[in-house]
Amino acid sequence: MNASLFLLGFLIVICSILDIVGTYTPGWIVGNGNLPVLTWIDVAGILINLPVGCYIGMLIIFGVNTRLIRNQGFTDSNRTPFYVIAGLALIAIALIVTCIIMVAVSLNSYCGRCDYSLGYSAWLCVSSAILSLGIVGLSIHLARKSCLNNFPDFRREAFKTGYTIRAVKYLGLLSFSAFGSLIFTTGPVVSITTDINVIQKKYEGSI
């Protein structure tokens, strides 16, 4: 197997595990004090599910694309999946960073009243976002180098109807992945809310 292709698959699996574990474990907030209900934390609890859908989509697309490559080698049809994987990774990075900022800013706005900070769950998601930069780079590299070098006439062929149909299919898969991830929206909200309730009980018990 191509070394870049193997490394891409490895990164997708690792990032998926980190993000799923980080998203659905109750370790987003740690500290002491009476933490009120914060609207932006609730919003972040919903948005943080979307990267999970992105990673699931990446796993599916990578698996299908790799099977095609093993059967027929790199072809022009393999370029679109690699670009879609890169796009999904960028979306996941943007969403994770946005959610972390929302939670961090909300916590910071109450730092004078109690002592709390981001927990291990948040940092697992951050680690996933950082490693996802490698997914973006490798996906683009494979699309531009491996596929294009094997098919130098791709630029002319790219405008054919078949290419457009493939692009539409993968965009549809992208939309399905994002929509499907909404099924799990209760998880992070419950996790973050549980963190808040535990902090409040500890605070009230110490008074």
Give the C-alpha separation, 127 to 73, whole Å.
32
For the segment 61-89, what is each residue's pLDDT rounded down to a tens digit?
999 999 988 888 887 778 889 999 999 99
Q: How many residues belong to the chain?
A: 207
Q: What pLDDT shows up at residue 185?
A: 45
Give the C-alpha separation, 192 to 194, whole Å.
5
φ/ψ of 156, rounded to 5, equals -75, -40
Mean pLDDT of 51-58: 94
Q: What pLDDT shows up at residue 129?
A: 96
**Within its chain, how far is the Cα of 79 from the centroid?**
21
CATH of domain 3-190: 1.20.140
Burial of 41 (0-12, 13-18, 19+ CB in 10 A): buried
